[in-house]
Amino acid sequence: MTYYPYNRVALKAELRRDEALRRKLYNDRDGKEHQSAVGKLTVGVGWNIEDKGLPEDVIETLLDRGIDEAEETLDRIEHRWRLLSVRDQARARALLNMAFNLGEHRLREFKKMWAALANFFATGSADWWTEAAREALDSAWARQVGPRAQRIATVFKTGALA
């Protein structure tokens, strides 16, 4: 445990006041006239992301948060996806990969893919995964992400890691 011989809570409040809390990237010169602003991309409370980048623990936290959001997205679109986690982890992870990449709004646009998956859940026939793969590949997304879409479609078809 680190020992702080000062009031860390007070320091954080002072830094939030002086630096401001920004959830999105900004140029540290934005709205500032003082000399300490040097035109660096910054985020959070004065974090110079341009020079420092992100620490590994922050990256892991963001990754975990993104995965949690992907799960929530799939819960809202097709809650039965969780049944796959038990018996078909590769396909469940492929769906999570798409949700992570696309977000809810764009993922919902794959209406024929979701219809194929609804048929899979209703019938249990793995043939519907081939249809889901075909529909996933028949998209602007697949053309944009190329190999990623191919890997996901292969997992959809085979149930095996690609």
In the chain, what are the domain boundaries? 8-53, 58-158
Q: How much is the pLDDT for 132? A: 98
Q: Identify the band that residue 1 occupies on the pLDDT scale cut at 50, 70 and 90.
A: low
What pTM, to 2 d.p., does this model score? 0.86
Kindly indicate whether the domain formed by 58-158 is annotated with CATH number 1.10.150: no
> H helices then E strands: how many in the chain?
9, 3
pLDDT at residue 20 tops 90: no
pLDDT digits (tens, 9 = 90+) for 96-153: 999 999 999 999 999 999 999 999 999 999 999 999 999 999 999 999 999 999 999 9
**Distance between CA 66 and CA 69 in Å, rounded?**
5
